[in-house]
Amino acid sequence: MDIVGTFGPIFARPDLWAGTLRFAAPLTLAALGGVISERSGVVNIAMEGMMLVGAFFSVVVAAATHDIVLATLASVVCGGLIAAIHGVASIHLRANQIVSGMAINLLALGLTSFLMFRFFATNGTPANIPALPDVKIPVVDGIPFVGDVVGDQNIVVWLSILAVPIVWWFLFRTRLGLRIRAVGEHPRAADTLGISVFGIRYLCVILSGLLSGLGGAYLALSVAHSFSNNMTSGAGFIALAAMIFGKWNPIGAFLACLLFGFGQSLGINLQGTGFPDQLVSATPYLLTVVALAGFVGRAVPPAADGVPYEVGE
């Protein structure tokens, strides 16, 4: 097979790179949420479920009101609500957070599929729902190649990219961020200093739900323009991997999301070239394993990650 002949023209396609950003956006939002939650000491493998809930309710509200702002709000609120359930289980009930997270994922899948049948039977969601707007950047739009890549991206793509430095700044340069990290590393010490461990953890878990919910809305209202059962199909788990791959750092997680986004985009762009796209779509996953084993090294989570905090002794 002529590797250069196959891949060369594809790498020159703006579609490949625009697609990378598009696929990375929902992953980035969910992964950033995961970073915030785990930095506060609550293990969060439930981004998949939170995205799914966000996607579903954004479509329900979009179909009912035809208002894109309300629909987006609904996704964020519902993502936050289901995250709050994970919060109660992990923080107050001191449940095993992996068990609770897995339960949230299954619950989200079951509930959205169940309600899908109830609301839309087997007809699918209506076609005339509003979409999240694309942002046309006047001058950049006209530049060849660059314009095609970033000139006309969805608003959520830009939000996800903007969110990366914001979350980094929030976690590492603000008082609240310092408190979050303190609670995640040594909750007892933080508690002694008068920081509310429970309060901080609830805040962070719910923040992760808000971000994942928005990621879900993007998948439903920009990529698919509909909801179908299990439509996130593992995006939340990829975001989880990106979070660990990025060593619980917003920037690292974003880079990992770009890698996964690139893999997905490459798989799509290779369709029809005769190159087995099934094997190409496996490449980023394989790369992750190699990278993780080879040069990323031991990923060390926050010290109190996953350890429920008990008040008093």
Partner 1 sequence: MSVATAQIQVPPSRVMRYLASGVTPVLAVVLAIIVGGLVVLASGSNPVVAYQQMLVGAVGTPFDISETLISSIPLILAGYAVSFAFRCGLFNIGAEGQLYMGAIASTWVATTFSSWPGLALILICMVAAMVAGGAWAGIAGLLKARTGAHEVITTMMLSYVAIDVSHWLLEAGPMTPSNAFGTPESGPIPPQAAFPIILPSSILPNARLNASLFVTILAGVAFAWILWRTPLGYEIRAVGFNAKAAAYGGINVARRLIIAMVLAGAFAGLAGMVPVWVSGRLYDSFSPGYGYEAIAVALVGKNSAIGIFLAGLLYGAMIHGSVAMQANANISGFLVQILQALVLFFVGAEMLVRWILKKGGLRRVLEVAG
Residues within the interface to partner 1 (CB under 8 A) = 45, 89, 93-96, 98-100, 102-111, 113-118, 229, 234, 237, 240-241, 244-245, 276, 278-279, 281-282, 285-286, 288-289, 292-294, 297-299
7/120 with CB nearer partner 1:
120
Using only C-alpha atoms, the chain has a radius of gyration, in whole angstroms, of 20
- Burial profile 230-240: b = 16 or more Cβ within 10 angstroms, e = fewer: ebbeebbebbb
In the complex, what is the shortest distance from the CB of residue 91 to partner 1, in angstroms, rounded to a whole number? Answer: 11
In the complex, what is the shortest distance from the CB of residue 43 to partner 1, in angstroms, rounded to a whole number? Answer: 10
18/235 with CB nearer partner 1:
235
45/217 with CB nearer partner 1:
45
Q: Select from 208, 237, 232 the least CA-distant residue to 218.
A: 232
In the complex, what is the shortest distance from the CB of residue 228 to partner 1, in angstroms, rounded to a whole number? Answer: 13
Q: How far apart are CA 52 and CA 17, in angstroms?
A: 26
In the complex, what is the shortest distance from the CB of residue 197 to partner 1, in angstroms, rounded to a whole number? Answer: 17
138/274 with CB nearer partner 1:
274
65/113 with CB nearer partner 1:
113
In the complex, what is the shortest distance from the CB of residue 146 to partner 1, in angstroms, rounded to a whole number? Answer: 32
CB 264 within 8 A of CB 23: yes
Q: Select from 137, 156, 154 the least CA-distant residue to 146.
A: 137
Q: Select from 180, 146, 148 the least CA-distant residue to 250.
A: 180
**Which stretch of DSSP H or E encloses residue 34?**
helix 14-39
Give helix 14-39 / helix 155-173 axis angle, nearest 10°: 30
